[in-house]
Amino acid sequence: MKTAYIVKAYRTAVGKAPKGVFRFKRPDELAAETIQFMMDELPDFDKKRIDDVMVGNAMPEAEQGLNVGRLISLMGLKVEDVPGVTVNRYCASGLETIGMATAKIQSGMADCIIAGGAESMSFIPMGGYKPTPDYKVAAAGHEDYYWGMGLTAEAVANQYKISREDQDEFAYNSHMKALKAQAEGKFDKQIVPITVEQTFINENGKKETKSYVVKQDEGPRAGTSIAALSGLKPVFAADGSVTAGNSSQMSDGAAFVLIMSEDMVKELNLEPIARLVNFASSGVEPRIMGIGPVKAIPKALKQAGLELKDIDLVELNEAFASQSLAVIRELGLNPDIVNVNGGAIALGHPLGCTGAKLSVQLFDEMKRRGSKYGIVSMCVGTGQGSAGIYEVL
């Protein structure tokens, strides 16, 4: 089996949806500009040698439809020879593409693949424009197949006895860690600057266009407090504990990595960043989908011949504080190594982009610490969990 190495890894900043900094920026443009930036670091590389562009996306319709992966390949590489594919495992889509690309290279079916994800929750609403549940499935007693994510977060909070106070404290800490990381410039080198143009009618009644460069995640809130968070009303159940403040933010963003075979890495004299040791997904009861990593992480570790004690850092997607805390407690994770620079409650969760985004963040922090093994994991809508184990080189 061949060895596959990640040699480049970048992401955009993450904007709030639907009224944030990227509300006027199409997702295919976000992705294409990220890929352009990444490939500009290899000016002599023949882009026609790239075997595929694999794009994770959770809502592949409208501006994210028409096989947006192929459109992103055309727009980002500006050559017609490289195909593109769109991959959907909801919140794990961006990690799924890295797993698929790695496996293809390991098997000898490819030598070079761009993998990652992109999502605009400003352009495409949660659930898409026309959700169409099968009423026969619901009538047969499986309503939870179609439950909104907030209801599943409430179910996890109830089943695993996660208190409102613990959820709010977790959310507060996410913001504080993210703000500290921003202040220390920890995200600066991994974020691609994106120029956004906004056209509007000015005070004189004339059309005017202004542009601005986005280089920082929009989500972290310096003014938040435990008191403010505890004052928010539950939004999914009248007597619930899940609020807008202890849930992940709706977001826009893109993230990609460049993966090559060992032979190509040596030929081009490149320095690898990391390699994906293993990737695994598991199914869980849809009603408590947030617990998905509790099955996926042990599965990935077992297949890799590793144990939790071997893991130095964990990027666990904070879909909700309730499910994040349940996962940490059920697996016995050391909280000190989980989301050390904040998580999705503060930094955002751009669905199909998230797995790749968290991978980029993990590589940087592990490099800083001299760590060896790290995990990216998330719960997935309709009852799944995914986990990727990386070795940073």
DSSP string, 72-102: HHHHHH--SSS-EEEE-BTBTHHHHHHHHHH
Which residue, chain included where needed, has tokens 């495409």?
Answer: 124
Q: Which residue has the higher pLDDT, 34 or 143?
A: 34
Q: Is 84 exposed, middle or buried (0-12, 13-18, 19+ CB in 10 A)?
A: buried
At 228, the pLDDT band (50, 70, 90 cuts) reads: very high
At 126, the pLDDT band (50, 70, 90 cuts) reads: confident
Q: What is the mean pLDDT of residues 176-199?
A: 97
> How far apart are alpha carbons 54 and 374 in whole angstroms?
23
In 3D space, the residue among 254, 286, 294 whose CA is nearest the CA of residue 377 turns out to be 294
> How far apart are alpha carbons 344 and 350 in whole angstroms?
9
Tokens describing residue 309: 């004690």
How many CB atoms sit inside 10 A of residue 195's CB? 10
- According to DSSP, the residues that pair with 313 across neighbouring strands are 374
Q: Is 237 exposed, middle or buried (0-12, 13-18, 19+ CB in 10 A)?
A: middle
Tokens describing residue 238: 């009248």
Position 135 scores a pLDDT of: 86
- Among 91, 112, 175, 353, which one carries the catalytic annotation? 91
At 200, the pLDDT band (50, 70, 90 cuts) reads: confident
Give me the amino acid identity at 206: K
How many CB atoms sit inside 10 A of residue 132's CB? 7
Instruction: For the chain, give the percent of residues with pLDDT over 70.
Output: 100
- Coil vs helix vs strand at 34: helix
Q: What is the mean pLDDT of residues 203-220?
A: 94
- Among 112, 175, 349, 353, which one carries the catalytic annotation? 349
How far does CA 101 lie from the centroid of its chain? 17
Active-site annotation holds for 91: yes
How many CB atoms sit inside 10 A of residue 73's CB? 28
Q: Is 85 exposed, middle or buried (0-12, 13-18, 19+ CB in 10 A)?
A: middle
Among 78-82, 102-106, 200-204, 356-360, name the one with the lowest average pLDDT: 200-204
- Among 112, 175, 353, 379, which one carries the catalytic annotation? 379
pLDDT of 286 strictly over 90? yes
Q: What is the DSSP string of 154-195?
A: HHHHHHTT--HHHHHHHHHHHHHHHHHHHHTTTTGGGEEPEE
pLDDT of 296 strictly over 90? yes
Q: What is the DSSP letter of 271?
A: -
Q: What is the mean pLDDT of residues 32-53?
A: 99
As a residue count, the chain comes to 393
> How far apart are alpha carbons 376 and 7 in whole angstroms?
18
How far does CA 322 lie from the centroid of its chain? 19
How far does CA 136 lie from the centroid of its chain? 33
> How far apart are alpha carbons 365 and 185 in whole angstroms?
12
At 132, the pLDDT band (50, 70, 90 cuts) reads: confident
pLDDT of 107 strictly over 90? yes
How far does CA 47 lie from the centroid of its chain? 26
Position 211 scores a pLDDT of: 95
> How far apart are alpha carbons 125 and 128 in whole angstroms?
5
How many CB atoms sit inside 10 A of residue 79's CB? 12
Active-site annotation holds for 353: no
Q: What is the mean pLDDT of residues 147-169?
A: 98
- Coil vs helix vs strand at 353: helix
Write out pLDDT tens, residues 322-371.
999 999 999 999 999 999 999 999 999 999 999 999 999 999 999 999 99
How far does CA 314 lie from the centroid of its chain? 14
362 and 374 in contact (C-beta within 8 Å)? yes
Q: What is the mean pLDDT of residues 371-381?
A: 99
Position 125 scores a pLDDT of: 87
Instruction: For the chain, give the percent of residues with pLDDT over 90.
Output: 93
pLDDT of 59 strictly over 90? yes
Q: Which residue has the higher pLDDT, 313 or 128?
A: 313
Write out pLDDT tens, residues 252-272.
999 999 999 999 999 999 999
